[in-house]
Amino acid sequence: MKPISPIMHPLNASIRVPGSKSLTNRALLIAALADGKTCLTNALFSDDSIYFAQALQTLGFDLALDETSHEGSSSTVEMQVTGLGGKIPAQNAELFIGNAGTAARFLSAFLTLGYGEYTLDGDSRMRERPIGDLIAAFKPLGACLGPANTENWSLITDYSCICPPIKIIASGLLGGKTAIAGDISSQFLSALLMVAPYAQAPVEIELSTALNSKPYVDMTLAIMRDFGVTIERDDYQYFKIIPNRYSPINNYSIESDASAASYFFAAPAICGGTVCVENISRRSVQGDIAFLDVLEKMGCTVTETDNCILITGNSSLSSIDIDMRDIPDTAQTLAAIAPFASSPTRIRGIASARLKETDRVAATCAELTRLGVKVEEHQDGMTIYPLELANFQPATVKTYNDHRMAMAFSLIGLRIPGVTIENPGCVSKTFPNFFDVLKKLQVQG
């Protein structure tokens, strides 16, 4: 249990959040595919990235962590990865990736390039998270993969319910034409894009549904370009990748995580004052930087210096009606500050959030209700009503073992007494020292 202490003064703090999870795991995969050694600086050191790094080590890659940069409360580390030009040393491996969604999707795609038999499994929640659309997309490209607990994959007609554990019987990736769904997770498309340069022939991809979280695909393409690979595309509908090779980068710096920063962007909205978040820019390739636009529409002031974004709260917080399908990981952050707005806030377009670490739509509505907030749950989001400070109910907030539930609802505790976070250790998934950084909002006032 973690009680959150309210802050009784306007904020005046400068903080730094860990390196981006999304950038770290994409860079890890690409570095392992490159020809030679890449050094990732400011890489995220958390459960999700550790699962990914350990999986690469299990597969035989030379990957070293410089933990001198992880001393104290830091959540970043330097990672040195020696890529093998698309080769996977191990011919057999069993990989466990906890509840790390990026690791599950990216490694499944990566393993199709190998020559051997691999299994990939996760915890109980991961065994509920669909991966069938990714499996279906790889079939026309010559890959052989499917559910580990099913013997005859040729009889499968419905891929929508397939979840880990999965088995990959790999003999390289042939290439060709395929289609992939984009409405469950953009990570499926990102995984396919990153490994496609190592297919034996060009890969052509068409989207069979509308694409959610488009900025994450933009991020994938940006990292691919950084490592020397560009592709043909028609907006978000068609992609063509010809065989190519990534080039190693001597020093590839990972910028701070925009999703993690969103909590500190949002704090001044309910506490007043100003917070400076370091090592991140509005020009970031991370889509969640757009959460700053949300805060501006609600009345906050956002300014930028050379290496810092400053967010200043207003005396009155306006409500908003917004589609967050492109930035669903910040929807809980908005939900946590919405009760302090002047009128109801409507969050739309986040049906995909029901398939994350928990059903984030249902969980967020349940915990707001626990705190006394009136909220209406919709299939693709929620409507959150304002609540007078005196009418909030002290409560222990359930996290459902979801790091974003813990971090987002901590914001309410900065303004309202009596908020306790259950299972605070779940933040280790992406932000191990979150509560240490949160304290800086109090001591620097």
Active-site residues: which are they?
Answer: 329
Give the span between the Cα atoms of 130 and 146, in whole angstroms.
Answer: 12
The residue count for the chain: 445
Using left for φ > 0, alpha for ψ between -120 and 50, and beta otherwise, residue 304 falls in beta
Helix axes 258-271, 403-413, angle to 10 degrees: 20
If 0-12 CB within 10 Å is exposed, 13-18 middle and 19+ buried, where does residue 372 land? Answer: middle
336-367 residues labelled b (16+ CB within 10 A) or e (exposed): bbbbbbeebbbbbbbbbbeebbbbbbebbbbb
- DSSP string computed for 188-250: HHHHHHHHGGGSSS-EEEEESSPPS-HHHHHHHHHHHHHTT---EEETTTEEEE-S--PPP-S
CB 175 within 8 A of CB 199: yes
Q: Which of 309, 271, 317 is nearest to 288 (CA)?
A: 309
CA atoms within 13 A on the CB side of 372: 15
Give the span between the Cα atoms of 335 and 237, in whole angstroms.
Answer: 31
- DSSP string computed for 225-241: HHTT---EEETTTEEEE
Q: Which of 7, 80, 21 is nearest to 428 (CA)?
A: 21
Give the span between the Cα atoms of 271 and 264, in whole angstroms.
Answer: 11
Give the span between the Cα atoms of 95 and 56, in whole angstroms.
Answer: 9
Tokens of 268: 């001044």
Which amino acid makes up residue 56? L
Give how far Cα 176 sits from Cα of 206, 235, 241, 372, Å. Answer: 11, 20, 10, 54
Give the span between the Cα atoms of 74 and 298, in whole angstroms.
Answer: 32
Q: What are phi and psi of 224, to 5 degrees?
A: -60, -40
